[in-house]
Amino acid sequence: MVSNQYTVVLPNGPLSVTAYANSDRGSVRTLNEDSMLVLPRVYLVADGMGGHSFGDRASQCVVQSVARAVAQHDILTPEHIVHAISEANLAVIALRGEEDGVSGTTLSGIALVSVGADEETRWMAFNVGDSRIYGWDGRSLQQLSVDHSAVQELIDLGHITSIEASVHPDRNVITRALGIHSHVDPDFWLLPVATQQTFVVCSDGLTKELDDDLIAGILADRAALSDDESIADRLVAAAIAAGGSDNVTVVVVDAARAADNDATDEDTVDRVIPQHLEQTRPRK
């Protein structure tokens, strides 16, 4: 288990952030190709592409590259995150020069960033591939990211249902990844810092085994956790118990701040996205 706890001082009061993380190779795979990063302000999961060369090295390369990039800044901005993802993509491509074959990996995560002239603090979410980001408000679970996958495109076109997607022969085919092309095209979007927030960042080893209702049920029943067990531990264990057909990695981020009567918790704050950055938003 990995845990991280710290406090961020915001203009309207301190923000307490606690992160829990766990990763397991599962019941079938001999190698864990997932990697994770848990740092103050940055939390991500990378899932090395199965069937490609050195997927484990690709995911580790992304984590190391992003960690180096963000360590250069005391305060992160959206531009820093975009640049870090671009640099990570190039780092994975550079693996080709060391060994034959193609290495690729997904990348999903969240970061606390400072935006605009007013330096407003926002959560920045980012995604390439089919690892996911969820939001939990204590009552309901919302998938914030959109899978970059062949079956998601078929769902969007109305050709198959989400239930059919779970058994579709192309369910493991992703349409975007780091390390494949010199230019990477992530989705990214900004969210306000609310009074109470929980984010779940995970590889598809979790969502292959547990549907959204099961994930929500585990998040809602934290009272069932033992003293030495985190919510990330419980989610990983449940995925393995359900079959564990793939590597499974989970990062859970809890954030809380004092209530502010002037604060708003609207879903996405478009006005704080820098105009010179291309905005891509997940589909509803």
Using an 8 Å Cβ cutoff, are 20 and 36 in contact? no
Backbone angles phi, psi at 68, to 5 degrees: -65, -40
Per DSSP, 220 falls in state H
Number of domains in the chain: 1
| pLDDT of res. 117 | 76
Beta-carbon neighbour count of residue 221 at 10 Å? 11
Residue 282 inside a domain? The answer is no
Residue 56 inside a domain? The answer is yes
Using an 8 Å Cβ cutoff, are 234 and 225 in contact? yes
Residue 156 inside a domain? The answer is yes
Put residue 246 in one of left, alpha, beta given phi > 0 → left and psi -120 to 50 → alpha.
beta
Residue 276 inside a domain? The answer is no
Residue 81 inside a domain? The answer is yes
Residue 243 belongs to what domain range?
2-259
Q: Round to whole Å and give the CA distance between 177 and 180.
A: 6
Q: Round to whole Å and give the CA distance between 249 and 23.
A: 4
Contacts of 123 (CB under 8 A, 6+ apart): 110, 111, 112, 113, 190, 191, 192, 193, 197, 199, 255
Residue 196 inside a domain? The answer is yes
Query: 128: closest CA among 64, 58, 191?
Result: 58
| pLDDT of res. 279 | 47
Print pLDDT tens along the chain (284 aa): 667 888 988 877 899 999 999 999 999 999 999 999 999 999 999 999 865 668 899 999 999 999 999 999 999 999 999 999 999 999 999 987 666 566 799 999 999 999 987 889 999 999 999 999 999 999 999 999 988 765 665 665 566 666 666 665 556 666 789 998 899 999 999 999 999 999 999 999 999 999 999 999 999 999 999 988 999 999 999 999 999 999 999 999 999 987 754 444 444 443 334 444 444 445 44
User: Tokens 């109470």, residue?
Assistant: 196
Residue 235 inside a domain? The answer is yes
Residue 116 inside a domain? The answer is yes
Which CATH number do you get for residue 114?
Answer: 3.60.40.10
